[in-house]
Amino acid sequence: MKCKCLGSLVVTLLPLLILSLVGCSATKVTGVWRNPEVPQMTCKNILVVSSLLDETSRKMSEQAIVDELQVAGTRAAASYRVLPEGELPNVERVAAAVQQNDFDAVLITRIVKRKENERVVAIGCPGQWQEDYRDSRNQIRVLACRPTPETLNTQIFVLATSLYRTADKAKILTITSDTTINMPNRDLAQGFASAVVGELRRAKVLGR
């Protein structure tokens, strides 16, 4: 009888677990465009540039991508470390950094647009769970407690991350992604960087 009760409990809580796991994924890649006119190439030294909401977001994003690229065995540098202190990236400054540091590619991330996403999440019964967990005889009460739906509005940024060849400024590929602003900046940056570098690896454009 106890096993049946535990099995029913797992079945009841499983949708809640799935929802929580889905909610933790802040960045979703929505598309990858590859330039058919550019031959297959590998980039060995990449300048990483982010044009985001503020300086803190920019630095975190650039450094997170650089760290992921270095783990993949590719040399990389964040623009905030290469450009003069206090100067934001623009065409002239990026071009000067490329010449001075011998970068063979530039990876640029920019915000394409913002949008609002409305979603329904399940809110459980934590207080009742604590009581029922101590007394197995009352576990049937947990089964009677159904998650309460709640509507949340989340802001989403649509980002475009493009890889350019510095020799002729040709665009190699563009990765589009949706990033949900629902966790600390550092976690967002790390998740975004992992998604982007994962796509670069799949595209086989990273060299050593």
Q: Which two tokens stand for residue 92?
A: 């002239």
| Percent of residues, the chain, with pLDDT higher than 70 | 70
Range with top average pLDDT, 12-26, 79-93, 160-174: 160-174
Comparing C-alpha atoms, which of 206, 205, 208, 207 is closest to residue 33? 205
Point out the least confidently predicted range of 4-8, 116-120, 181-185, 199-203.
4-8
**Helical pair 55-71 and 185-202, crossing angle rounded to 10 deg:** 40
- Boundaries of every domain in the chain: 26-123+148-202
Mean pLDDT over all residues of the chain? 77
Residue, of 32 and 27, whose pLDDT is higher: 32
Looking at the predicted structure, is the pLDDT value of residue 199 above 60? Answer: yes
What does the buried/exposed string (b/e) look like for 171-201 if buried means 16 or more CB atoms within 10 Å of the residue's CB?
A: ebbbbbbebbebeebeebbbbbbbbbbebbe
List, in order, residues 6 or more apart from 50 with CB less than 8 Å away.
Answer: 57, 58, 61, 62, 65, 79, 108, 109, 110
- pLDDT score at 77: 94
Task: Write down the pLDDT at residue 41.
Answer: 86
pTM: 0.70
Write the class of the CATH domain 26-123+148-202. alpha beta
pLDDT of residue 6: 34
pLDDT at 48 over 50: yes
In sequence order, the 6+-apart residues with CB closer than 8 A to the CB of 193 are 61, 64, 65, 67, 68
Q: In terms of pLDDT, which residue wins out, 79 or 134?
A: 79
Is the model's pLDDT at 157 over the cut of 60? Answer: yes
At 119, is the pLDDT very low, low, confident or very high (cuts 50, 70, 90)? low
